[in-house]
Amino acid sequence: MGLVRIASLSLFVFLVSASQDENENSGTSCDPNVTISGGTITLSQGGAVGSILKYVCPLGFYPYPVSSRTCKANGQWSLMRNSQWRIIQNAGCRAFKCPVPLIEEGTFFPKRASYSMGDSVSFECADGYRLLGSESRTCLINGRWNGTTAVCEDGLNTCPNPGILAGSVKSGTNYGTDDKVRYVCLDNLALIGSNERICLETGEWSGAEPTCQHKHSFDLPEEVASHFSASFSRILSESSLTKENDSSNSIGRKLALGQGQKLHIYIILDVSGSIKKVEFCDAISALTSFIDMMSRFEVVIHYGVVTFGSRSQIIVNIGHAESGFPDYVADVPKDLKYEDVVMGNNKGTNMTGALKTVYEMMSFQKASMKNRQLAWIEVRHVIMIFTDGRTNMGGSPKPMMDNIEGFLEVKNSREDFLDVYVFGLGDDFQEINKEEVNSIASKKNNEQHAFFLFKKDLDNVFNSMLDLTSVGNLCGFANKSLIESDQSSYPWFAEIVSDGNPNFRCSGSIVADEWILTAAHCFQDVSEGNTTRKKITVGPHNKRVELEIVSVQKHPGYNLTGKMEKGIPEFYDYDIALVKIKPKIKFATTIRPICLPCTMETSVALRKSETKTTCADHEEELLPTLGTVEAKFVRKAHGEHELQNVKIKTGESQRPLCEQDALKAAIYVNVSDVKDVVTDRFLCTGGSAQVPEAISCKGDSGGPLYIRKLYRYVQVGVVSWGVKDMCMEPRLPTDARDFHINLFEVLGWLKQQLANSTRFLDLPQ
C-alpha cells in the first residue's frame, strides 16, 4: 500500500459466548429423545425448562434448519423454521456446498447447480484478456473455494477488474480512479470483507476483497494461522520484504516498524457466562504465549489487559509502568481464577463496554503525552478481538469502534495506524453474528482481518499464528516446524563455491544485508583484488540467489603458516573473515541474518535491557562455563544440507579433554603442547563416549555454530577445522573433534568491520 507503519497498539479480545439465564420453572420438562439425521445432540440441563438442545454434525456438515432449540415452559421444544419461516419437523445434517462461481469476459467449467467438497472448476478468458487469480479452484470442506477470485483483465483501466465473488452480485463496471463497485451476497450468505470498494490512484482497490460465506461455515485453522501471521508480522518487520512470485506473498503489506518504536497492546478477555473452565484456561495460555512471543521483537511494547462480561475490569493498566514489562503482564492473567471472573452476575456480553474502557485508557495515554504529541501520533494501533459475535448488552460495538477510529485519526492516509483483527470463536457458527464481526474488522487490501474458529482450536492455532517467520530482517528467526533438511530452518546459511575449482566449497552465514561471515582459510589464495572466481549463494535450492564478492576482510591476526618454524604446518588462530557482497540481500522468509553476540538485536532476543546489558552478560547467558552448551551447525553430505546437534565443551573438566584430542590430527602428531595449536579463541565440539556427536565434513568450514535462545538463534562460533575427516563414518571415534573460532574473542574486529550494519554493545577494553 506504500504506507509506512511506525508502531502499534494491539487490542486483543478473547470473547466467549454468553449463556442464557436458567429458568427455574420446575416440574415441566421436554422430551430428551430428540434426534438429528446424521448427527448427535447435547442437552444443557437434561431437558428441563430453559434447557438448550444443540444439534452437532460431523466436520463438513451443518445442522438444518436450526442449530439449537430451547425447552419452553409448556414442555415443548421451540419450533424449527427454515429461511422462508416454514416449520420443519425433522432436523438433519447437510453437507456444505460451495456457491456457484462467476467470471466476466470468460467462462468456467464444469457448470453445475452446486458444488460439493472436492469438486473443482477451471477458468478461461476470451481473446484479448488475460487471466488473473486462480486458474482452477477446489471446493473445500467448509464450503469455501480455495485460491483467489478469477478475473479476466484487459489492462485498460486504472484498477484491474475486481471480479465477481462466488455467490454474489456485483454492481459497477467502470474501474477508473474513484469508481466504485458494490457487492451483495445471495442465498442468505454472509459478506465478509468490504461490500464497497473504490479504485484508488495507485491502481489498487480500497478495502478488503470480500467473500460470501455460509453462516455455519468456519475458517480452516491452517488458513487462519497463515493469513494472520502474514499480516501481523508486517507490523513487526523493520523493512520491506522481498516480493516473490507465489500466492503466499499476496497476503500482507510491506510495512516498517522501526527499532525502539512503540507498540501498545490492549488485551480484552471475555469472561461472559457460558465459557467453560477449559476454554478459559486455553484463552489464558494463548494470551501468555502471545505476550511471550511479542517480547522477542525489537519494539517497545506496553500492554493493557481488560476482562469483561456484563461489566469491564482493568487487570493491567497501560498507563502504569508495569505495563511495559512482559514478564509481569504475562503473570497477571495466570493469577486469574476461573471461579472469580466467570461466575456471579457478570454473564452478559457487553463488547461496547469493553471497547469503551479501552477508549478511555487510550484517551488518558494521549493526555499524559500532551507535551509529546508527535510521539503519540507515531504509535501504531492494532485491535485483535476474539468474540462469540453475539453481543447481548450495550448495543452494537460498531459505534464505539468508530469512536476509536476517529480518536486515532486513522482515516485516509493514516489508515495503516489502526488494524482490527476479529476472531469469532464458537462451536455453533450459526449463533455467531458474522455481520457484526465483519463490521468492526479492518478492511485492507490483500489482507484478512475477520476469522471464525472453533473454540477448541484456539490455543493450537494461536501458537501457530505466532510462528512469525515471515518477519524479514529481524535476526535469528527460523521456521522451527520444518524438517532439518529444509533451508528455512537455517535461512542465514550461505555457500561459497568457485567457478575455477568444482571441488572447492566453504560455508558462511548472513550477518547483515551486505556481509557474509566465514573462515579466513576459505580465501587463503584470494588477494584483495582477486575474488571474481568465487561466488556466494543463499536461499533455498529451488530459489538460490547468487551474490558477487566485492571484497574479503580477513582478521589481521590470521596467518596460516605463522608457526611453520615450530613444525606446525597449519595454524588456524583467528580463522575468520567477512565477505562484502553485492547486491545487498533482500531479506525474506528463507533468507535472513543470524544474530551476533554483544549486539542490541541480541539483547532484545535474550530479553535483556538494551541500555544496561553488557557483553559479559551475553557471554554468561550463551556460553556458561558449567559443562556443555547445546549448539547446532549445518553439514553438507551427499549433496544435502542438514542441521546437526553438538555440545560445546565449556566446563573446566570437559574443555581440556576436548582440546587435547587436537593433537590426534595427522598434521599435529609431532606437537607436544596443545596450546600451540588450540588457543583461547577456539570452541571445541564433537566426541562422546555414550552418544558420538556429529562432526563437520569437508566444505563445512566457515559455517555458523549457533545456539537457540527462546525463539531466536545466536551465532557464537565459526567452523574452522576438524581432527578427523570421517564425518560420514557410521561409527565415529570419541576423539573426533571440531574447532570453531569463538566470536566473543574477536568482537572488536567484528564491531570495526560491521559498524555501519549492526548495533554493537560497548565492548570491554
Regarding whether 411 and 540 lie in a shared domain, the answer is: no
What's residue 660's pLDDT? 95
What's residue 32's pLDDT? 92
Regarding whether 679 and 549 lie in a shared domain, the answer is: yes
Regarding whether 738 and 669 lie in a shared domain, the answer is: yes
What's residue 576's pLDDT? 98
| Predicted confidence (pLDDT) at residue 212 exceeds the cutoff of 60 | yes
| Predicted confidence (pLDDT) at residue 563 exceeds the cutoff of 90 | yes
| Predicted confidence (pLDDT) at residue 236 exceeds the cutoff of 70 | no
| Predicted confidence (pLDDT) at residue 394 exceeds the cutoff of 50 | yes
What average pLDDT does this structure show over 495-505? 88
Regarding whether 637 and 586 lie in a shared domain, the answer is: yes
Peptide bond into 583 cis (omega under 30): yes
In sequence order, the 6+-apart residues with CB closer than 8 A to the CB of 38 are: 57, 58, 61, 92, 93
The 10s digit of each residue's pLDDT in 105-118 is: 999 999 998 899 99
Residue carrying the nine cell digits 487487570: 315
Q: Is residue 764 part of a domain?
A: no
What's residue 5's pLDDT? 37
| Predicted confidence (pLDDT) at residue 687 exceeds the cutoff of 90 | no
Residue carrying the nine cell digits 470468460: 106
Q: Is residue 155 part of a domain?
A: yes
Residue type, 342: V
What average pLDDT does this structure show over 433-449? 89
What average pLDDT does this structure show over 720-749? 89
What's residue 610's pLDDT? 66
What's residue 247's pLDDT? 36
Regarding whether 710 and 724 lie in a shared domain, the answer is: yes
Count of CB atoms situated within 10 Å of the CB of 48: 20
Regarding whether 364 and 498 lie in a shared domain, the answer is: no
Regarding whether 641 and 626 lie in a shared domain, the answer is: yes
Residue type, 720: S
Q: What percent of the chain has pLDDT over 90?
A: 51
Q: Is residue 23 part of a domain?
A: no
What average pLDDT does this structure show over 657-685? 94
What's residue 447's pLDDT? 85
Residue type, 419: D
Cβ burial of 673 (10 Å; 0-12, 13-18, 19+) is exposed
**Contact predicate 523/534, CB 8 Å:** yes
Residue 338 vs residue 64, higher pLDDT: 64
What's residue 261's pLDDT? 60
**What helix, strand, coil percent values describe the chain, rounded to 5?**
20, 30, 50
Cβ burial of 155 (10 Å; 0-12, 13-18, 19+) is exposed
In this structure, are strands 92-95 and 61-64 parallel, antiparallel, or unpaired? antiparallel
Q: How confident is the model at residue 482 (pLDDT cuts 50, 70, 90)?
A: very low
Task: Look at 89-93, 383-387, 579-583 and tell me which has the smallest mean pLDDT.
Answer: 383-387
Residue 508: give the domain boundaries: 493-754
What average pLDDT does this structure show over 321-327? 86
In this structure, are strands 262-270 and 211-213 parallel, antiparallel, or unpaired? unpaired
Question: Mean pLDDT, the chain, as a whole number?
Answer: 85
| Predicted confidence (pLDDT) at residue 240 exceeds the cutoff of 50 | no
Of 517-521, 535-539, 611-615, which one has max mean pLDDT?
Answer: 517-521
Instruction: Quote the cell numbers at residue 185.
Output: 451476497
The 10s digit of each residue's pLDDT in 114-140 is: 899 999 999 999 999 999 999 999 999
**Contact predicate 374/329, CB 8 Å:** no
Cβ burial of 312 (10 Å; 0-12, 13-18, 19+) is buried
Residue 352 vs residue 281, higher pLDDT: 352
What's residue 737's pLDDT? 94
What's residue 300's pLDDT? 78
**Contact predicate 208/445, CB 8 Å:** yes
Q: Is residue 579 part of a domain?
A: yes
Regarding whether 154 and 73 lie in a shared domain, the answer is: no
Q: Is residue 227 part of a domain?
A: yes
What's residue 473's pLDDT? 64
d(CA 416, CA 422) in angstroms, rounded, equals: 16
- Output the domain CATH number for residue 146: 2.10.70.10
Residue type, 651: G
Q: How confident is the model at residue 457 (pLDDT cuts 50, 70, 90)?
A: confident
**Inter-CA distances, 638 with 489, 496, 633, 641, 699, Å:** 19, 17, 16, 8, 12
Regarding whether 521 and 415 lie in a shared domain, the answer is: no
What's residue 348's pLDDT? 83
**Contact predicate 301/295, CB 8 Å:** yes
Residue carrying the nine cell digits 533455498: 540
d(CA 481, CA 471) in angstroms, rounded, equals: 16
What average pLDDT does this structure show over 224-239? 67
Regarding whether 118 and 68 lie in a shared domain, the answer is: no
**Contact predicate 281/261, CB 8 Å:** no
Q: ∠617-620-624 over CA atoms, to 5°? A: 175
- Output the domain CATH number for residue 576: 2.40.10.120
Residue 422 vs residue 478, higher pLDDT: 422
Q: Is residue 762 part of a domain?
A: no
**Alpha helices in 466-614, H assignment, sequence order:** 600-605
Residue 414 vs residue 691, higher pLDDT: 414
- Output the domain CATH number for residue 267: 3.40.50.410
Q: Is residue 512 part of a domain?
A: yes
d(CA 401, CA 409) in angstroms, rounded, equals: 12
Which of 465, 481, 510 terminates a domain? The answer is 465
Active-site residue set: 521, 575, 701
Cβ burial of 637 (10 Å; 0-12, 13-18, 19+) is middle
Q: Which own/partner contact pairs does 112-121 have at CB distance under 8 Å and 24+ positions apart? A: 115/139, 117/60, 117/141
Instruction: Quote the cell numbers at residue 189.
Output: 450468505
Closest CA to 678 of 664, 688, 692, 694: 664
Residue carrying the nine cell digits 565492548: 763
| Predicted confidence (pLDDT) at residue 586 exceeds the cutoff of 60 | yes
Q: How many domains is the chain built from?
A: 4
d(CA 517, CA 582) in angstroms, rounded, equals: 14
Regarding whether 435 and 325 lie in a shared domain, the answer is: yes
Regarding whether 632 and 732 lie in a shared domain, the answer is: yes
Q: Is residue 33 part of a domain?
A: no
What's residue 18's pLDDT? 40
The 10s digit of each residue's pLDDT in 521-552 is: 999 877 655 666 789 999 887 788 999 999 99
What's residue 642's pLDDT? 87
